[in-house]
Structure 1
Amino acid sequence: MWCSEHEPPTPHLEFERKSSQIFRGDTVKLECDIDGDNWTYTLQCGDKKYNSKDENDFEITVELTQSCKCKVCRGSVCSEWSNAVNLTVSDNPIVTVKPQSSVFTGDTVTLICDVRRSTGRTIYWFKNYNRTKAVSATVTLREVRVSDGGRYSCAVQNKTTQSQGVELTVRERPKPVVRVQPDGRVSRGQTVTLSCDIQQTDVINWRYSWNKDNSEIHVSQSQEYRISSVNESHTGDYSCTGRETGGSRYSHTSDKVTLTVSGKESCDTVYSKLKIKGEVN
């Protein structure tokens, strides 16, 4: 237990290691450990300082090899700096995938090998640990197929260590199905609901575009498009397309579904109007 008139004990800085190597851009967690509470924590890594009230753990993004240390304060009284923790950033290449690592068939994917200080040297690419023919820092895969999926990594000529692998997942581009409720043939005044059903994907959120006679008429996050009190002008061919919210993927366009609205009002519609007017008991 620490008394306020004495200098506080020296904290201990711990590094929570998730893998054997740290790559540029990785996020690491450091914990400034000391007994007691109501501390203000300061972490210093290289020239940067991070402060936290009450929370003793820090998550930082590492760009360079650097040494980190921490101290605690309560009021104007501060501890000595803790032990140093060295964050050594691997000099191995880094692979990035654009636009993203999960795509659909037919998309274009760019693989980039960031070699940092090895600019100008020959680059080797590997797919599922087997060397490919590509030798440039940037590789573009056009109209990808499911078979293009796999683990991609790169290495610099005369260096034995490969980059971390990046998993490219290629799935078949889905095709939505349009469903119509209550039916594709309705009478004037009825309510019609069109739903855009997209199956077998890992996309969490879609943004749905609706077309009528090949012209876009509605875009929303809801897979349903509702038309209240239809009339003859709503007759036409309807289709939909899904686009990933916050991503680059999109579906095929669905097959067209024809909605036909007759000029005669349905019995249900007539009954509802009469009931509203109080003409039906």
Structure 2
Amino acid sequence: MEKLIDANGVQLCVETFGDATHPAILLIHGAGASMLGWESDLCSAIAGHGRFVVRYDNRDTGRSVSYPPGKPGYSLSDMTRDAVGVLDALGIERAHVVGRSMAGAIALTLGVDHPDRVASLTFVTTSTGEDDLPPMSEEFLAHTPENPDPTDTAAVVEFVTDLLKAYSGGSPYFDEHATRALVEEDVARTNNIASALTNHFLIDFDGPTSGGFGDIAVPALVVHGELDPVFPLPHGEALRDAIPGAELLVLQGAGHEVPRQLWGTFVSALVAHTR
């Protein structure tokens, strides 16, 4: 069941799955996405392997604290401290941290600046951000129109559904019907949809202060979609190479998301990694 907690001085919406005495996995989603991006069935599947799964709405998503559109009053390091605050509120000393897309930077900052709170790191469809890596695909850029009128719910649902289709990179696994249903649920529970659509793209990406990818000292797994149009596969390969001892799992036929058809592969790898 969802609940609001106080973490790092703000209110965040959190949901847990499984037995709290089991090893904890903290799932952090990327830009503009609430915790529903980590589907409840996926969280339950992970929990079914003896893990205590935690997901939460980042600032400006879902039911968590929101800021005026275009004026986020926080930075990436604040979002990192939010994650620590979630662990504190739930009484979790150390967690296996999974950062997806933009939240890969949050996972990095947790691993470098808060190493005592991190048991392992998993980076899902993210990047080192190096300038010489391939840019977003032209096909993806061609399918990213201007944001819709945030007061027009139907237009917002259509926009986000189309965006997630573009994120799939032409994956044969993309399910438009299921995606639309999830987007409708997410839009209905979001405090401020205008802020959710914009604010994460305007924050200061101040990053870690104690090092970089080469300073990560816990086991690291990189998970990347073969067809990812946002961060093409060389981003995942570069990330693996940047982290000492990291392993790379390529999700064949996947884009920027983790499609339901590949959950078995993803869950097996994550459970093995967090054993």
Q: Relative contact order (C-alpha < 8 Å, sep 6+): which is higher?
A: 2
Choose between structure 1 and 2: higher strand proportion: 1
Question: What TM-score do you get using the length of structure 1 for normalisation?
Answer: 0.21
Choose between structure 1 and 2: higher helix proportion: 2
